[in-house]
Amino acid sequence: MKPTIRDVAKMAGVSISTVSRVMNAPDTVVESKRSRVIEAIEELKYQPNAFARGLIYRKSFTLGLLIPDIENLYFAGVIRGMQDACIKLGYSLMICNTDRDKERTLSYMDTFHEKQVDGVVFASDILHPEYYEKLIGCRIPFVLVSSHSDEYEVASVEVDDEQAAYDAVKFLIELGHQEIGMIGFNHDNSVSGPPRMAGFVRALSESGLERNIGKIKYANHRFEHAYQATHELFTEYPELTAVFCVADEFAMGTISYLKDRNILVPGQVSVIGFDNLRMSGMFIPKLTTIAQPIYQLGYRAAEKLHELLTTGKVAVMKEKMEHKLIVRESSREK
């Protein structure tokens, strides 16, 4: 039978709480007791488990992550960053895929409460009042990643979606394109859709290209939806020479549609994406795109949640990470 913290305490002649302080805050224990506890740990070959730590600190050392689409490559990067941060900070990670379904999301929040997770990262979705009230009611600290809330004071980490979209469209304009369209997120279920559209509109307006503002079609986060949206866009606006897509997967759908219609990219139409997924550099043509620091967003979200859990607050409530333009093969001068 494996030795327990109780066995260590008995052998060292101290209390269980003293053993716990030796393991986690040794400087708070006098040298004589600390030496006895260390000797007992070594002799018994005691290794504390997460459950034992949880009993001592009333914590599970587990974080929850709510993501809307685990098949989306963007979230693979976020998960990897958060997982690495959890390993460093001493947490396990529980991941739930919501499909942006309210009932499912609320059910997962109940599950997190039952499992006594210490905190939750809520990714790339709208913080509906029901979600906020559930998490607050369950007293689960939480942080938003690739999202924000204008309604509630909630810690978040993301890029500046409006500025990033502006930079993408401004780049197309600087290449000489005058007829520019957009494949955007359906605003009904997207937190980043409206600001990215706002960036599109601002860049066009500053350059006197307001006639393009209505040249937008919307898709629901998938390649095949973007393919259909591109069909609708070019059927209505065949004069387009450039398209801004609010996700790399959308850019791939757009390019695939154009290729199937024998329209050359970038020879006849330039396409720019958003995210800089790993696939963006493998796709043909390689995607020009706005790079988000995807891994770092996940990593920082976990660090921010840990900061909230350990101090009760965060130094920066609404944190913005830097984006950058990556120029590859899918764009060229008009």
Residue 242 lies in a domain: yes
Per-residue model confidence (pLDDT) at position 56: 47
Residue 329 lies in a domain: no
Residue 10 lies in a domain: yes
pLDDT in tens, 137-160: 999 999 999 999 999 999 999 999
CATH number at residue 47: 1.10.260.40
Domain hosting 309: range is 62-158+294-321
Alpha-carbon radius of gyration of the chain? 25
Q: Tally the domains of the chain.
A: 3
Question: What pTM value is reported for the model?
Answer: 0.83
Bigger pLDDT: 19 vs 224 = 224
pLDDT in tens, 14-23: 998 888 787 7
Per-residue model confidence (pLDDT) at position 48: 65
Same domain, 132 and 253: no
SS3 track for the chain: CCCCHHHHHHHHCCCHHHHHHHHHCHHHCCHHHHHHHHHHHHHHCCCCCHHHHHHHHCCCCEEEEEECCCCCHHHHHHHHHHHHHHHHHCCEEEEEECCCCHHHHHHHHHHHHHCCCCEEEEECCCCCHHHHHHHHHCCCCEEEECCCCCCCCCCEEEECHHHHHHHHHHHHHHCCCCCEEEEEECHHHCCCHHHHHHHHHHHHHHCCCHHHCCCEEEECCCHHHHHHHHHHHHHHCCCCCEEEECCHHHHHHHHHHHHHCCCCCCCCCEEEEEECCHHHHCCCCCCEEEECCHHHHHHHHHHHHHHHHHHCCCCCCEEEECCEEECCCCCCCC
pLDDT in tens, 46-91: 876 554 554 444 677 899 999 999 999 999 999 999 999 999 998 9
